[in-house]
A and B are shown apart, each in its own frame.
Chain A
């Protein structure tokens, strides 16, 4: 397994955790895994919805304490 890049978007409201993820996804290479940390409830549904629509891969999503840890892989 390659290294997983962590995007720390905890406690942010602007531009928003999904926006942060999309930004870093653009820079990532195909096959790379990114982990988003978010304290925003919405991320748990927003991120999978975008990942599905755009055609990347959801790996996992879990809440540890107040923080969502969402792992995704760039597929194209």
Chain B
């Protein structure tokens, strides 16, 4: 049995390590082979980018060598996949190699496409890449006063990141003693301050308390970097001195090129996590079209379900459970307070008032992440 995992990020690494643990005997006996292919030898802890933007983490703290995170029994290749031949149970890589599989797990994540919004790349800063987070931090340190606007494009991963970032901006400028010289403007695409009703209900009074101004039903259409104006699809506009954008996302270009998906989001059964029409192909994490938030947390829970099911099918011929839509996300409510958001397909999140304890738990999780992806936690 050849199990091939494509993508060495949060989901792919957890699935690989979880399978290595569950199928250790079968791997040792040569009955199962586990292969992971990624396009980089490094693994980035993406949530750390938010802290880089505020000078609370340095970029080098975001990375580990992927090989050091993987169980030694996993055959790891750094060689981007260029083509999926699902009909023939094969993938091809850039080096020209063909990998055959019996079971395939796709965990290739998502990419940002700021170029889809005219002027966004030139006019806006973003903390969704390492380079962007470093540059945004520099700009924030140099900022003397004026309007800081944040615009949110969709779809995007980590739906709570914009809320966290705006609260952290409030505390950042307070700490620098210039909060009274800064106008914070938050622009959000749906008609609440967050797409999840209970997060919106919690955040709105917190915005009011912090003096954060907001406009809803604002879908970014265009940025004019010369005159420093951002326009919405809905016909409104906002002048800014510093613009922070959560850029629109797409699935991987290679996924689109191989006609696996529209917009790059692979059609996936929301319970079984198999690709529509392909029983031996699983899809997890940001790469799916499942209507849950694109988060490391969802990728983690999905990876566990897939690994448990694959292991059980090999051992007993039957899968054991379905993915229930579970997501658990911390939400920073500033520099020293946080709350969290836990829900599944049927249960709404209920937000607790932010506390220092939850903030410190997120800070601890930022380190514990490495233990989680190794499969130890």
Contacts and interface: CB of A to CB of B under 8 A. Distances in A.
Of B155, B195, B197, chain A has the most CB atoms within 10 Å of the CB of: B195
Given A13-B197, A53-B234, A19 B155 contact: yes
Interface stretch (B32-40, B301-309, B344-352): B344-352
Contacts of B219: 22, 54
B343 interface: yes
A15 B346 contact: no
B217 A50 contact: yes
A9 interface: yes
A8 B343 CA distance: 18
B313 interface: no
B191 A18 contact: yes
B159 interface: yes
Contacts of A8: 291
A14 B195 contact: yes
Interface residues of A, number: 24
B217 A23 contact: no
Interface of A: 8-9, 11-20, 22-23, 26-27, 40, 42, 46, 49-50, 53-55
Q: Is the interface of B mostly helix, strand, loop or mixed?
A: loop
A50 B198 CA distance: 20
A56 to B, nearest CB: 10
A15 B343 contact: no
B154 interface: yes
Interface string B327-348: 1000000000000010101101
28 contacts: A9-B291, A11-B345, A12-B291, A12-B325, A12-B345, A13-B197, A13-B348, A14-B196, A14-B292, A14-B341, A15-B195, A15-B293, A16-B190, A16-B195, A16-B197, A19-B154, A19-B155, A19-B195, A22-B154, A22-B189, A27-B262, A49-B217, A50-B217, A50-B234, A53-B217, A53-B234, A54-B233, A54-B234
Of B190, B262, B348, B349, chain A has the most CB atoms within 10 Å of the CB of: B190
Interface of B: 154-155, 159, 189-191, 195-199, 217, 219, 233-235, 248, 262-263, 291-293, 325, 327, 341, 343, 345-346, 348-349
Contact of B346 (A11, A26, A53, A55): A11
Contacts of A18: 190-191, 195
A58 B54 CA distance: 43
Contacts of B154: 15, 19, 22-23, 26
